[in-house]
Copies of this chain bind each other. A is one copy, B any other.
Amino acid sequence: MVTGSPSPVAMFAALADDTRWAVLETLAQGDGAAGRTASSLAEALPVTRQAVAKHLAVLEAAGLVESWTAGRERRYRALGAELTALGRRLERIGDAWEARLGRLADIAERLEG
């Protein structure tokens, strides 16, 4: 069953932890296409394999990571496109807030005048 795209809030929660960022960045550094296992990641990080596995589960639930089975091991890769999409979303919201504040209007006026 394909779970609908996760809520932004769930994504932010997934990104609100230093260890999780370390997992993500370690994951993104390697050869993405091949993927990496939780055990392999744990060797490069200061936490246990089980902790990494939990973080990967959170990240996958948030839609920021993808996983597949390869024999007796499970491989993961980072989904940069999802991060990019989330970033764009934030940008638009922030711009809307500033626009409402009337600042953009002032700037436009200044540019015209």
Contact = CB atoms under 8 A, between A and B. Distances in A.
Task: Give the dominant DSSP class at A's interface.
Answer: helix
Copies of this polypeptide in the complex: 2
Chain A: interface size category? 35 or more
Given A9-B16, A9-B21, A91-B91, A83 B102 contact: no
A52 B93 CA distance: 21
Given A80-B95, A94-B82, A100 B28 contact: yes
21 contacts: A9-B16, A15-B16, A28-B100, A29-B100, A33-B101, A80-B95, A80-B97, A80-B98, A80-B101, A81-B98, A83-B91, A83-B94, A83-B97, A84-B90, A85-B94, A86-B87, A87-B89, A87-B90, A87-B92, A87-B93, A87-B94
